[in-house]
Chains A and B, each alone.
Chain A
Amino acid sequence: MRNKIYPFYFALGTVGVYFIFFVVPGLMGFYYSLTDWNSYSDTITFIGLDNFKTLFSSGENYVSYIINTLNFTASTVILKTAIGLLFALILNEGIKLKGFHRVMIFMPSIVPMLVVGLIFKSILNPATGLLNEALRWLGLDFMAQKWLVDANWAFKSIIGVDTWKGAGYIMIILLAGLQSISRSYYEAAEIDGANSWHKFKYVTLPLLMPALVVTTVLNLLHGLKVFEAVYVLTNGGPGYATDVLYTAIFKEFSMGRYGVGTALSSLLFLFMTIVGYFVIRLMAREEGRDQ
């Protein structure tokens, strides 16, 4: 009966295009990463694990791209969560013009990353950029850095820019989470003699956990897929110091070294699909419980 009213084949078109353009390239990747596919010749030969040997050989930088990606992910997860949570707690109550501030603070997350990158290329310019100008004006000359040029600072600067763009979004999610916590819990805690720290630790944090899990997942997926922030701000430079997986894949692609690019992509695909499997299962189940 159900199959008659809600025939499953109505969904097949959607699942079909999704499969062709999303899943098939991922699966094809495993085969092509074992070949010497490139733009110089038409024949594609099977070369076993050679591409992966290249990726992990000591003469190449690929391992550092993986480390950079993980570093970026971990740093942005921690920074955005910490900053988002801190400001969500401060702004949870007693704010006038709440709607206005919410619109402003959310704004960076809807501006294209490309545009944010270009704007910050100007702000972080060592000689004329707004940041260094402001530091000099404050008399903090020693803090002025060659943000995107100095190998010690370039990656930190990228993380900073991405945090500027993403922290507001996280804050708004956490703020919504905070406001769904009933006041009666705090009143009960107060009667039991809890101070602010106790209230945070025993009431706020546990009840905010679902929202914190979601923000962590969002930041995690965003971090592992980072491309535009790096591509626009430094394009991997100075040297290869700030290259991440997706920028390295794009470089391999541009140079026509498709086999190596695919191998790199397949590593990411495997890792994120496994992580995603558990995360998405959690999401699907939570939703089922609500209904």
Chain B
Amino acid sequence: MTPKFVQKLARNGIAWLLSLFTFLPLYLIIVNSLKDQMGASSMSIALPKELHWSNYSIVVEQGKLLQSFLNSLLYAVGSTVLGIALAAIAAYIFARNQSRLNRFMYFFVILGIAMPINFVTLTKVMQFTHLINTQLGMVILLAVMSIPFSVFLIYGFVGSVPRELDEAGIVDGCSPLRLFYSIVAPLLTPVIVTVGILNFMGAWNDFVLPLYYLNDSNMWPMTLAVYNFFGRFSVNWNLVSADIVLTTLPVIIIYLLGQKYIISGMTSGSVKG
């Protein structure tokens, strides 16, 4: 038992405790989603006596979850695709052609990382463009909100794509647009995957925009639906838990599949120095 060994044991112990500490609340929701109403009322960490899978089917019916799931999917996929298309082309131009105007526009766009949104006056803009209370409006808003950070991440990556490739493309007679989408864009795949996953999760998790701009419950995403469900069924923690699990599951699955990209994306730009 050397001191070094004890120290190593302590470090690993702390690591396990931290992991447990972050997992406990999620575990709590999973076990309680399988209990009956009585069993879940105290929200204890005990395992369920028998598995009530029926909670899930009740929630799907009562909470109109299928509709909300499809809505969330539409918003997340739509805004991710639109947001990346808009961000990638702009980041590419800003990085390749650093004229005064473009440098200013780049700065202006990434200033949005810090700028807060004025939700009250945004209503006016949404009314004016007839996008309020529409699904298209939600897709556009979520896409626009993702632009500043996406441009920032993609801009950093464009610099690592060698310019010689552009020149080769031009010699072969590529038009400027073709040069972007058939030569440069494919090389941006790693950063586009990262940004795509981050934006998808951001859109899936978003709660504020639908809260302000969607009155019609048929258009609600999962987050708003689960909040509303909690309001109606707050005594049935087993059902609320099942609803929470269903809302969170897609994000967790994507996270586990793409954790390498997610963690690198969310920490990039921060540790170069």
Contacts and interface: CB of A to CB of B under 8 A. Distances in A.
Given A10-B90, A107-B22, A110-B251, A281 B15 contact: no
Interface of B: 7-8, 11-12, 14-16, 18-19, 22-26, 28-29, 41-45, 86-87, 89-90, 92-94, 96-97, 99, 101-102, 105-125, 129, 140-141, 143-145, 147-148, 151-152, 155-156, 159, 166, 170, 176-177, 179-180, 201, 204-205, 207-208, 211-212, 223, 226-227, 230, 237, 240, 244, 247-248, 251-252, 255-256, 259, 262-263, 266-267, 269-273
A21 B237 CA distance: 39
A283 B28 contact: no
Interface residues of A, number: 103
A10 B266 CA distance: 27
Given A14-B90, A120-B25, A114 B207 contact: yes
Contact of A228 (B105, B177, B208): B208
Contacts of A272: 114-116
15 contacts: A3-B99, A6-B96, A17-B144, A24-B121, A26-B121, A28-B118, A103-B256, A108-B22, A115-B248, A119-B29, A211-B270, A214-B270, A249-B119, A280-B107, A286-B273
A128 B111 CA distance: 45
Interface of B is mostly: helix
Contacts of A2: 96-97, 99
Which 6 residue pairs across A and B have the least CB separation, nearest first?
Answer: A276-B114, A210-B273, A6-B97, A14-B90, A112-B205, A104-B19
Contacts of A176: 267, 270-271
A106 B19 CA distance: 9
A53 interface: no
Given A25-B122, A101-B15, A115 B247 contact: yes
Nearest to B97: A6
Given A6-B93, A110-B255, A122-B28, A11 B105 contact: yes
B140 A17 contact: yes
B89 A10 contact: yes
